[in-house]
Chain A
Amino acid sequence: MSIDKKIVDDMVANGISFVTTVPCKQLAGVIEEVDARPEIFHIPSNKEDEGMGLCAGAWMGGKRPAIIMQNTAIGVTINTLATLTQYYRMPLPMIISYRGELREPVACQVEMAVHTKALLAQMHIPTYHFHKESDASELDAILKYTFMCNKPVAILTDASFWGGYGDQ
């Protein structure tokens, strides 16, 4: 089974039916899979804070949401995470492409990579790092944990997990 399909299977198995995405080359296959599933309403966002607003509304409407984004967006969404998702105590799985790690070809991506875990730690956001493909076996448990505790939870997926960025 492809890793893209496994990730989306776990999302569907956990009742996730509303997914917002901002494009990413590493997550392109997951986004394509999300778009193809009849169980999921896929709504692309123009910016990740907008996407978190959509997810907040969807959850209050009775759906389980998720957001797919790059780690650069942590810089965009700190205020939304603090004053909306966390303040109103809402669950939000964040499946994140961890750009700027080993095998990264674009130097500028490293500039946010070095801040990513520190920012997530400062925000007290539970954070999981998928480095090897076998790490994805925890996704099902991470999603259950997210909807158990009603918190935003970060799943960082780096280039090694995806088999290299641009050299796949």
Chain B
Amino acid sequence: MIRSEILREIAPILHDQLVVCNIGLPSQELHMIDDNAKNFYMLGTMGLSSSIGLGLALSQPKTVISIDGDGSVLTNLGTLPTIANNVADNYILLIIDNGSYGSTGDQPTYAGKKTKLEKVAEACGCENVVVCQDVDTGKTLQAAIDSKKMTIIVVKCDSGNIKLPVITMDPVVIRDRFMKAVAS
């Protein structure tokens, strides 16, 4: 499966949660599949989905899912020790690991070569690191939500993209409706 197929499959699970979604195609895909106020779309700032999600999880009680990519985690690798050492049991980092920089044309990442992000996360001190195949993403994510334990999920899937438009919503509108959903 490619990322957009996974997002389509897990959209009913994501629908009830606060979601911080990675820059580029992941946000565009989620926006197309199930746009709602509980989605925070990143329009820029590659690498910070996990940091924004962690800050949000540490600051209020609702479950937060950061959707990230292997390339974006590599961009902000310092996030993993921060996550490990500041446990928020309402936080899930969902890394869609397709071994490529999808939004820029599927150039290979080091995670698609020798680097294993799940081992990096464990070495950083993350306690619940789960690796799953694309077809198992839904049940793995639901189990992580139900566990009420901070969890890092690394989903192994195929690289590939679908054609779709950019998000034209104003960033302040995205942020404002998201904050209202957080506070509701």
Contacts and interface: CB of A to CB of B under 8 A. Distances in A.
Interface of A: 18, 41, 43-47, 49-63, 65, 79-80, 82-84, 87-90
A49 B82 contact: no
Contact of A84 (B45, B58, B178): B45
B149 interface: no
Given A57-B64, A65-B55, A87-B43, 20 more contacts: A41-B59, A45-B82, A46-B79, A46-B82, A47-B76, A50-B82, A53-B47, A53-B48, A53-B52, A53-B76, A56-B48, A56-B51, A60-B175, A61-B60, A61-B182, A62-B59, A62-B60, A79-B45, A84-B52, A88-B174
A90 B178 CA distance: 13
A100 B23 CA distance: 35
B67 interface: no
B78 A50 contact: yes
28 contacts: A18-B55, A41-B59, A44-B82, A45-B78, A50-B78, A50-B79, A51-B51, A52-B48, A53-B45, A53-B48, A53-B51, A54-B51, A57-B55, A58-B55, A58-B59, A60-B55, A61-B58, A62-B59, A63-B59, A80-B45, A80-B48, A82-B44, A83-B43, A84-B44, A87-B43, A87-B44, A88-B172, A89-B175
Contacts of A54: 51-52, 54-55, 58, 82
B182 A62 contact: yes
Among B40, B76, B86, B175, chain A packs the most CB atoms within 10 A around the CB of B175
Contacts, number: 115
Contacts of B58: 18, 41, 43, 54, 57-58, 61
Nearest to B183: A62
B20 interface: yes
B54 A79 contact: no
Interface string B54-66: 1111111000100
A57 B54 contact: yes
A61 B86 contact: no
A53 B58 CA distance: 13
B179 interface: yes
A74 to B, nearest CB: 16
Nearest to A80: B45
Nearest to B91: A57
A37 to B, nearest CB: 16
A46 B50 CA distance: 13
A61 B59 contact: yes
Contacts of A82: 44
B53 interface: yes
Contact of A46 (B40, B53, B60, B78): B78
B20 A46 contact: no
